[in-house]
Chain A
Amino acid sequence: MAYSDKVLDHYTNPRNVGTLDKNSGEVGTGLVGAPECGDVMKLQIRVNPATNVIEEAKFKTFGCGSAIASSSLATEWVKGKTVDEALQIRNTDIVKELSLPPVKIHCSVLAEDAIRAAISDWKKKNG
């Protein structure tokens, strides 16, 4: 399996690895995937309540290099965006940026799901 330079870069130097306090009202947590499918992503965002801007994003991923890269990239992209802007991120954008091959498209889908799940969790808390 040949990986693109960008996937290798995110695998070697993953951005925003870590955990935010999931009990905080400003934090939304998304946990998607399943161990038996070989991928689990946890993506968390901390949203400024005054501006709805995502000020911080963290992830942890159990999965292949492309899954790690997709979620790492997702945290980079959501940071600084408002919640509504972040919902505009599409898995196809991730595929393009990381040059993912067809067998790895599900990794980008999972990353998009993780963003949505985190935002939905945050909205539930702040509904």
Chain B
Amino acid sequence: MASEVKLPIYMDNHATTRVDPRVIEAMLPYFGEIYGNAASRNHEFGWVAEQAVETAREQVAKLIGATAKEIVITSGATESNNLAIKGVAEMYREKGNHIITQMTEHKCVLDTCKRLEKHGYRVTYLAPQTDGLVNVKELEAAMTPETILVSIMAANNEVGVLQPIREIGKLCHERGIIFHSDIAQAIGKVPINVIDDNIDLASISAHKIYGPKGVGALYVRRRNPRVQLVAQMDGGGHERGMRSGTLNVPGIVGMGKACELAGEEMAVESKRLLALRESLRKQIFSELDEVFVNGSMEHRLPGSLNISFAYVEGESLLMGINDIAVSSGSACTSATLEPSYVLKALGAGDELAHSSIRFGLGRFNTQAEVDYVAKKIVDVVRKLRELSPLYEMHKEGIDLSKVKWQAETAAH
């Protein structure tokens, strides 16, 4: 089996995905003969481009149960998150100055909130429970009459856990608070419906769902409630005044096609990815002891798995699996691998000497690749544990947290 796979294997689909050939095909004419500016209202070239953009807008909207007019095109989820949070904060400043989010959000949400704090806003960063999920009771308790916005992602990019967004959205709507969700990792993988899930603002990136990089969208609710934003980019007033800048027509066409495919294939694809992920998990767990899944197994993206390997150092682990593209966040402090703030927030950083790997399975991964990766991981972890004095001490029954470690004496 292993001889069938082509190396290196890409299993980092939370970082980005390969553009689907059908998406490429849909985009190609818009790099060539169809080159008009979608904002050109007075000639055929512009009309054709605008029509392509409108079709894509409908494809995006359909995937999340929105209407085309509610889709604002951006450069990606980072921009969408910035626009949503800053745009609401500025628009509703007179209503209140409090924002609620959580410690495990993407950096572009956290850093946007930190910037707002410098401008007089108050931000509550909720700690996740040990399974990675936000505590809804704590979130409710944090809501005040000053709260204007709650921002909680649908699926976490590092550990893959799904947050109870529908419940959170309901709490927000009962209090007239705007609910923003970064759905970049969830869209196309699990069903999202902005009406049923009570979402007012949702951030999307095309490249997470087999579309091109550099294009995304922000869903902005127009009814019950109508959400208003202060634009963060000044210019020609594109996108209903919410985001100026000439539209990236080929990219937008690709995003639309990617959304259409995701909608058509989600049911079948999510089952297949779940089966692959479980195969990977079972193969690793049946062969190795002292391995742990980070985050809830129950509330999880189908293609996502984040595993900690005890008594194995992260860099040496990556060195041994250099023909596999995965993402690593060492839960322990090491010279070169910074601890992941998400894993730390889950309490995984409390354990000494773990390293963790995020596996992101996607549309183009195969069972043969899963088998190869599982075997490789097992072999390398076994070899490194054979080398690990910590694993040996653990096997002897020594509590590593009680050992008086002798750090190096000479200067670094």
Contact = CB atoms under 8 A, between A and B. Distances in A.
Q: Do A and B bind each other?
A: yes
Interface string A93-127: 00000000001011001101100010000000000
Interface residues of B, number: 33
B313 A64 contact: yes
Given A17-B387, A38-B332, A32 B408 contact: yes
Interface in B308-344: 311-316, 319-320, 330, 332-337
Nearest to A41: B389
Contacts of A36: 332-333, 352, 405
Nearest to B320: A11
B50 to A, nearest CB: 48
B42 interface: no
Interface of B is mostly: loop
Interface stretch (A46-54, A55-63, A81-89): A55-63
B406 A35 contact: no
A11 B335 contact: no
A109 B392 contact: no
B364 to A, nearest CB: 27
A113 B388 contact: no
A67 B334 CA distance: 12
Given A40-B390, A60-B389, A35 B319 contact: no
Contact of A68 (B316, B332, B335, B409): B316
Contact of A62 (B388, B406, B409, B412): B388
Nearest to A34: B405
A33 interface: yes
A80 interface: no
Contact of B334 (A1, A42, A64): A64
A63 B352 CA distance: 13
A61 B407 CA distance: 14
A38 B388 CA distance: 12
Contacts of A65: 315-316, 319
Interface string B395-412: 000001000011111111
Contacts of A62: 311-313, 353, 387-391
B387 A113 contact: no
A63 B336 contact: no
B386 interface: yes
Interface of B: 311-316, 319-320, 330, 332-337, 352-353, 386-392, 400, 405-412
24 contacts: A32-B408, A35-B390, A36-B332, A37-B333, A38-B315, A38-B332, A38-B335, A39-B313, A39-B334, A40-B390, A41-B389, A60-B388, A60-B389, A61-B387, A62-B311, A62-B313, A62-B391, A64-B313, A64-B319, A64-B335, A67-B313, A68-B316, A110-B408, A112-B410
